[in-house]
Amino acid sequence: MQTRLNQLGFFVSPDSSYGSNTFHAVMAFQKFYGLGRDGVAGPRTLNHINLVGRPNARSTRGRVIEVDLNRQVVMLVEGGYVHHVFNTSTGDASHRTPRGSFKIFRQINGLRISPLGKLWRPKYFNGGIALHGSPSVPAYAASHGCVRLTDPEINFLWGTPWGRIGTTVWVY
């Protein structure tokens, strides 16, 4: 299952362990394909893994971080090809994540303690709204407007070309 998720672009290291990374990769898969969002690889999820191809992006050119608010996933896309898919939690009903095309303009390589909580390695793309690591990335929109990722996901993002200042972040 981990190998197949990895082949499809869902962020997981095939290590034969059902840890946090696998849980979030399964949840991202479930979110993307409209399955129950519980992070558990039950029969329906396992059957679906072998029926689908790699996710499709909306962008067709350039290097883009796509944030799909309806599905609650983040995709790292280049030239229309989805390289990686992450589970995310964006702004809740009171603090919606703004839609639009933005650019990463500021980042902090470490922990940022803000009045609204702790942000691990935030990458700001719209005012005080950032992609950042968090210990809480639930199955639903629960943030104050930021785009929450797991700490391993944001750490991975920092080491990729998508993590650079100036990268487009397309929220839709």
The residues assigned a catalytic role are 132, 146
Q: What is the DSSP string of the chain?
A: -HHHHHHTTB-----S--SHHHHHHHHHHHHHTT---SS---HHHHHHHTT--SPPPS--SSEEEEEETTTTEEEEEETTEEEEEEE-B-B-TTSPPPPEEEE--EE-SSEEEETTEEEEEEEEEETTEEEEE-S---SS--BSSSEEE-HHHHHHHHTSGGGSTT-EEEE-
How far is CA 136 from each of CA 29, 133, 144, 150, rounded to the nearest angstrom?
A: 18, 9, 13, 7
90, 144 contact by CB (below 8 A): no
